[in-house]
Every structure is written in C-alpha cells, then in structure tokens.
C-alpha cells in the first residue's frame, strides 16, 4: 500500500513539491505569513506572494471570463470578513488584486466608505467593469472567515460559493454523539495536511521559484497594491472618489 505523505508546514510543502517537480529550493528558503503580504525568502531575495491567484475557485472564475461562458460582464461583487485585528490594507490588497487579475484590467478609480473595522469600496476597472468590495475585520479567532465573490454579466452569473451560502462547505462531515460534526476537506492531493490557504501559499511560492520573472511581477504588483490600498483609505478619509494614476 502506498504511504500518504502528510505535510505539516508551508515550507515543508514547498520542499516536497519542489522535489516532485525538480525545482531547486535554496538552503535559506523561508515562508513568512506576517505583514501586509506573505513572503518567500530564497537565495537572499524576498518575494511578496499573491497566493489567492493560486486558489482553484478564483482560477475557475477567471477562466469563465475568458472561455465565453460569461458575456458582457458588468459587475464584480465581493465580500471578505476576516479576524478582528486584521489590517484593513491587507484585506483591500487581496480584493483589489483579485479584481484586476480576474478581469486582466487596471483600476480606474476608487471610492471607499469606512466605519471602524468595516469598509465598502466601489472601484471601476478601465474596461468598464464596476467592483463593489465589502471588507471587515470583526470575527472572533475561532470563527471561519467569510469570503464570497460574484460576477454578474448580461449572459450568466458566476459565484465561488453555492448559491445562498455564506461559509465554505466541507467535503466530509462525521456525525457522532457530539453537538457539532467533525469536518474534513482535502484541498490538494499532493499537499495532504495543509488547509486551503496554505496550499495556495505553497503553490504560489513554487511558481516564484520556478519563474524568476513571475517573482519580479509579484513584487511589483505587491508594491502597487499597497499604494492602491492607501488610496482607498485616503478616499475614506476625504469622502472623495480618487483616480488611480500609474
């Protein structure tokens, strides 16, 4: 019987995958999840990672905008609620990057309204698509984060969640004599043991090691996203719509 290799940490996952795909991992390799962006340090360089681009649900949403399933897209609606204490700039960076990456277009303007730990952002891409982004940092540490994205078009609607659901469903539920069932979801058959967030982090880090050009693009985009997040918060302070200038 074949033994299943269980992964414990993102760095262990990166080393395991790199070995399977013949990618060199420098001895100083380190993955850190603190700060505005998770980072990979390798070969004396630090790379800002954009792991959400490696999540299957977002890859499939992007594919739907390319393969003709969705036509004449008008709106992206997103909601992301994270743990209390999470930096609002971190939440905005993720949602703003998803908007640009999914539709392969840059932002034209941003308008944000903020109330304490919650914010609503309206942004328009240069291809005319309007994005409404709800972000908040209000959840208890034990809670499951809330994350939902919906694309509306003249032909078709696409969501990354089952309709009328708020939290991510699991693949298997074990019902016993306890009040709540145990739940299990294996996100990636090669990275057994990691949750969805860490799987995406490892996949993104592997791509950065494989392709130095992709790593440079991620660093450049991370710097740009930080500026966009600051622009969104400045909009909230001034109550004005602000134009994005390259």
**pLDDT digit string (tens) for 128-173?**
999 999 999 999 988 888 999 999 999 999 998 877 776 777 778 8
For residue 211 the two structure tokens come to 């392709």
The structure's pTM equals 0.91
Closest CA to 93 of 232, 235, 246: 232
CATH topology assigned to domain 10-162+192-243: Dihydrodipicolinate Reductase; domain 2 (3.30.360)
Where along the chain do its domains lie? 10-162+192-243
Q: What percent of the chain has pLDDT over 90?
A: 76
CA distance 131 to 76: 5
Nearest to 209 by CA among 26, 54, 34, 56: 26
Q: What is the mean pLDDT of residues 92-97?
A: 98
Q: In what order do the strands lie in the sheet with 118-125?
A: 157-159, 146-155, 71-83, 130-139, 118-125, 107-115, 242-243
- Mean per-residue pLDDT, 61-86: 94
Neighbours of 235 (CB within 10 A): 22
Sign of CA dihedral 165, 79, 144, 179: negative
Task: Tell me the pLDDT tens digit for each residue of 165-210.
Answer: 767 777 788 888 888 888 777 777 888 888 889 999 999 999 999 9
């Amino acid at each position: 019987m074949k033994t299943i290799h269980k992964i414990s940490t993102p760095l262990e996952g990166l080393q395991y995958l790199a070995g399977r795909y013949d990618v060199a991992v420098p001895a100083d390799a380190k993955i850190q999840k603190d700060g505005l962006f998770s980072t990979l340090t390798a070969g004396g360089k630090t790379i800002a990672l954009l792991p959400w681009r490696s999540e299957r649900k977002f890859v499939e949403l992007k594919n739907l905008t390319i393969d003709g399933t969705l036509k004449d897209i008008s709106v992206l609606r997103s909601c992301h609620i994270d743990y209390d204490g999470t930096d609002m700039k971190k939440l905005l960076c993720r949602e703003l990057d998803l908007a640009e990456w999914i539709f392969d277009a840059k932002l034209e303007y941003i308008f944000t309204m903020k109330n304490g730990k919650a914010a609503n952002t309206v942004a328009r891409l240069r291809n005319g698509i309007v994005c409404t982004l709800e972000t908040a940092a209000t959840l208890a540490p034990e809670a499951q984060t809330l994350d939902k994205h919906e694309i509306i078009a003249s032909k078709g609607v696409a969501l990354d969640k089952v309709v009328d659901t708020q939290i991510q469903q699991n693949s298997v539920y074990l019902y016993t004599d306890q009040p709540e069932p145990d739940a299990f979801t294996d996100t990636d058959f090669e990275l057994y043991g990691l949750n969805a967030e860490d799987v995406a982090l490892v996949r993104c880090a592997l791509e950065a090691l494989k392709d130095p050009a992709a790593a440079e693009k991620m660093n450049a985009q991370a710097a740009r996203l930080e500026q966009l997040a600051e622009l969104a918060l400045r909009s909230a302070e001034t109550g004005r719509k602000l134009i994005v200038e390259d």
